[in-house]
Amino acid sequence: MSMEEQKEKADWPREKPKRDKREQKGSIEVDMNPMVDLAFLLLTFFMLATTFSQPQLMELVMPVLPEEEDVEQEQPVKETQALSIVLGEEDQVYWYVGITQPEVHQFAWDEQRVRQVLEEAQNNMSELVLLIKPMEASRYENLIDLLDEINAVGIERYAIAEVTKEDRALLPAD
């Protein structure tokens, strides 16, 4: 081995030759501020331009309280044509036909049972008048479902009335 070869082996591993400054690659810096600004502008635009779903309301027309002179002109309803449905607490439903000494029936809320009662009443009574009497502790959902069942059966004459003392006396005490 020659001297030069020995020197080369001794210098091994060699350092890489340094590049001149023109060849050195600098780190690339990307300014993220414009992208963040754009993201917030898009977010703001879509928040302001989007319409959220509007709550759907069911129109419920309540009768106006009659004036004193109009009360005398109201047509009385025959007892045999008046069906009262009282919506009680804990999903209980009470129903009876007539006003004086009616036979009160009770069952837990069931749409099929309600529909059956309404269909029987409509078939058996020629001029059915339905009185819906929700108690304070009854569920609003049951009232809406009852109105849906009334529309499905096709009963045209019905009214929402307050529960009277006489109604409360007819209901079984829990």
Could you give the percent of the chain with pLDDT greater than 90? 9
Q: Please compute, for residue 147, the number of CA atoms within 13 A of its CA located in the half-sphere on the CB side.
A: 13
Instruction: Tell me if 105 is assigned to some domain.
Output: yes
Give the range of the structural domain holding residue 122, as residue numbers without chain letter.
95-163
Q: Which of 1 and 118 is assigned the larger pLDDT?
A: 118
Q: Mean pLDDT across the stretch 77-94?
A: 84
Task: Give the total number of structural domains in the chain.
Answer: 1
Instruction: Tell me if 109 is assigned to some domain.
Output: yes
> Which band of pLDDT confidence, cut at 50, 70 and 90, is reported for residue 43?
very high
Q: Which of 95 and 16 is assigned the larger pLDDT?
A: 95
SS3 category, 97: strand
Instruction: Tell me if 58 is assigned to some domain.
Output: no
The span from the CA of 109 to the CA of 142, in Å, is 8
| Tokens encoding 151 | 């529309």
Instruction: Tell me if 67 is assigned to some domain.
Output: no
pLDDT reading at 22 higher than 90: no
**Backbone dihedral angles phi then psi of residue 84, each to the nearest 5 degrees:** -110, 130
Instruction: Tell me if 50 is assigned to some domain.
Output: no
| Tokens encoding 174 | 């829990």
The model carries a pTM of 0.56
